[in-house]
C-alpha cells in the first residue's frame, strides 16, 4: 500500500482520507462522539490548512508556546508545562532526510518569539520519546507521537498547567503555534471546537486550524474562570474528513501517565542527552539510530514544587 507524506501536514506528517479509510480509519471508525462515517466521504490526497490570526507571542497564554528549532533548518511548536519541561511531537526530533533522531543539543526552544525578537532562548538538555513510537511507521504508531523535553535552564515564561477535556462537543478550544507560512510570528485559532475522541481514548479530534509547523502545538481548554487556560492535548497530525481538515491530538492524560514521575519528582529516564555544545555537522547527519534509555538523576537543582506550596500544581486538574 502506498503512503503519502506531504509537506502540508504537521512538520511532514499528514493523514490522507484514503489512508484513513484503508488503514487507520481514525475518524470514521474510531470516533465515539463524532458523527458516523458517510458514503460521501471524499478522498483528498493533499490539502492546505489555513492559519489563524497573528497573536502577541509574549501575552498569556501564548507566552508558554514556543518555536522549537531543530538545527537543520526545520521547526515545530512546543509548549512549556513547567519551568523545566516542555512537550512537542515525537516526529519533531526525528530527521527524515537521514532517517535518524537528532542529538538533543541541536534543539533550541524560543519563547515569546515575534519579529525576530524573543523572551526566552532555551537549549534542550535531553528528550524522551515513547519506545512504542516508530518514525518509520508514523501512522501505525501515531498514538505515541509525543516527546518530553528537558530544558537546560528555567524559563522565565509562566508554564501552562494540564487538564483533561470533557466529552461534550460544545467544548470551546484554542491552539497556537508557528506556521511555516509566518515563521516570525505566532498565529492562533481562538475559536475551535472539540469533535470527539477515539474509542480507545488515544486520540482527540478538533476543528482547530493547525497548519504546517504546528506539530507539538497544544490543545488549550479554558478554566472555569474563562481567563485561565490548560493544556488538554498535543497536536500531531491533520485528517481529511468530508473534505475538511480535522486536527488530531494526543490527550494529555495519556501522556501524563508516563511523564508524571519525571515532572513531579525528577525521576526521569532520557534517551538523548545534550553534550552542552552545538553539534557538529557530522553529528547532525549521523544522528541517533535508536533511542536507548539513559538515566539522569537530576537536571535541575531543586524539586519542581515545594511540598509546602499548595498553589504549585503539576498534576492533571479539572478546568
Do 129 and 138 contact (CB within 8 A), yes or no?
A: no
Query: Within a domain: residue 194?
Result: yes
Percentage with pLDDT > 70 across the chain? 73
Q: In this structure, is the dihedral angle defined by the CA atoms of residues 53, 59, 65 and 70, taken in order, positive or negative?
A: positive
Report how far Cα 253 is from the mean position of its chain's Cα atoms. 14
User: How many residues are present in the chain?
Assistant: 319
Where are the alpha helices (H) located in the chain, listed in sequence order? 17-19, 252-265, 281-286
Number of structural domains the chain divides into = 1
Which whole-number Å values give the CA distances from 168 to 32, 34, 164, 173, in the listed order?
Answer: 12, 10, 12, 12
Query: Within a domain: residue 62?
Result: no
For 7, left (φ over 0), alpha (ψ -120 to 50), or beta?
Answer: alpha
Strand, helix or coil for residue 273? strand
Half-sphere exposure of 309 (CA within 13 A, CB side): 8
Query: Within a domain: residue 48?
Result: yes
Strand, helix or coil for residue 164? coil
Query: Within a domain: residue 204?
Result: yes
The pLDDT of residue 161 is 92
Report how far Cα 163 is from the mean position of its chain's Cα atoms. 15
Query: Within a domain: residue 42?
Result: yes
Do 252 and 232 contact (CB within 8 A), yes or no?
A: yes
The whole domain housing 40 covers 17-52+166-214+232-250
Q: How confident is the model at residue 155 (pLDDT cuts 50, 70, 90)?
A: confident
Q: What is the DSSP letter of 90?
A: G
| Cα gap 258→254, rounded to integer Å | 8
Higher pLDDT, 32 or 52: 52
The pLDDT of residue 168 is 52
Residue 23 scores a pLDDT above 50: no
Q: Please write the tens of the pLDDT for every residue from 71-130.
A: 888 899 999 999 999 999 999 999 988 888 999 999 999 998 887 777 888 999 999 999
Residue 219 scores a pLDDT above 80: yes
In sequence order, what are the residues at sequence separation of 6 or more whose Cβ sits closer than 8 angstroms to the Cβ of residue 244?
A: none
In sequence order, what are the residues at sequence separation of 6 or more whose Cβ sits closer than 8 angstroms to the Cβ of residue 296?
A: 126, 150, 268, 269, 270, 273
The pLDDT of residue 312 is 35
Query: Within a domain: residue 26?
Result: yes
Query: Within a domain: residue 198?
Result: yes
Q: Please write the tens of the pLDDT for every residue from 168-191.
A: 555 889 999 999 888 889 999 999
Query: Within a domain: residue 170?
Result: yes
Amino acid at each position: 500500500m502506498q503512503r503519502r507524506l506531504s509537506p502540508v501536514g504537521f512538520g511532514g506528517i499528514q493523514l490522507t482520507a484514503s489512508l484513513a479509510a484503508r488503514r487507520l480509519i481514525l475518524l470514521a471508525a474510531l470516533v465515539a462522539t463524532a458523527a458516523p462515517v458517510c458514503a460521501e466521504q471524499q478522498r483528498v490526497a493533499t490539502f492546505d490548512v489555513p492559519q489563524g490570526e497573528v497573536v502577541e507571542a509574549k501575552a498569556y497564554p501564548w507566552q508558554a508556546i514556543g518555536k522549537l528549532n531543530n538545527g537543520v533548518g526545520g521547526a515545530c511548536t512546543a509548549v512549556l508545562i513547567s519551568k523545566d519541561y516542555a512537550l512537542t511531537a515525537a516526529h519533531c526530533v526525528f530527521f527524515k532526510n537521514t532517517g535518524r533522531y537528532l542529538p538533543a543539543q541541536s534543539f533550541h526552544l524560543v519563547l515569546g518569539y515575534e519579529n525576530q525578537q524573543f523572551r526566552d532562548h532555551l537549549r534542550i538538555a535531553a528528550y524522551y520519546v515513547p519506545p512504542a513510537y516508530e518514525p518509520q511507521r508514523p501512522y501505525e504508531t501515531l498514538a505515541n507521537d509525543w516527546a518530553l523535553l528537558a530544558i537546560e535552564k528555567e524559563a522565565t515564561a509562566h508554564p501552562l498547567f494540564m487538564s483533561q477535556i470533557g466529552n461534550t462537543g460544545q467544548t470551546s478550544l484554542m491552539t497556537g503555534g508557528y506556521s511555516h507560512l509566518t515563521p516570525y510570528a505566532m498565529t492562533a485559532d481562538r475559536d475551535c471546537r472539540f469533535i470527539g475522541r477515539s474509542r480507545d481514548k488515544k486520540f482527540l479530534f478538533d476543528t482547530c486550524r493547525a497548519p504546517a509547523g504546528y506539530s507539538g502545538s497544544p490543545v488549550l481548554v479554558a478554566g472555569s474562570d474563562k481567563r485561565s487556560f490548560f493544556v488538554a492535548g498535543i497536536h500531531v497530525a491533520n485528517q481529511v474528513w468530508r473534505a475538511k481538515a480535522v486536527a488530531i491530538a494526543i490527550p494529555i492524560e495519556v501522556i501524563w501517565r508516563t511523564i508524571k514521575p519525571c515532572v513531579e519528582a525528577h525521576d526521569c529516564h532520557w534517551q538523548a542527552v545534550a553534550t552542552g555544545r552545538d553539534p557538529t555537522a557530522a553529528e547532525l547527519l549521523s544522528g541517533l539510530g535508536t533511542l536507548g534509555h539513559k538515566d539522569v538523576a537530576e537536571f535541575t537543582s531543586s524539586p519542581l514544587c515545594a511540598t509546602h506550596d499548595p498553589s504549585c500544581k503539576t498534576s492533571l486538574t479539572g478546568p
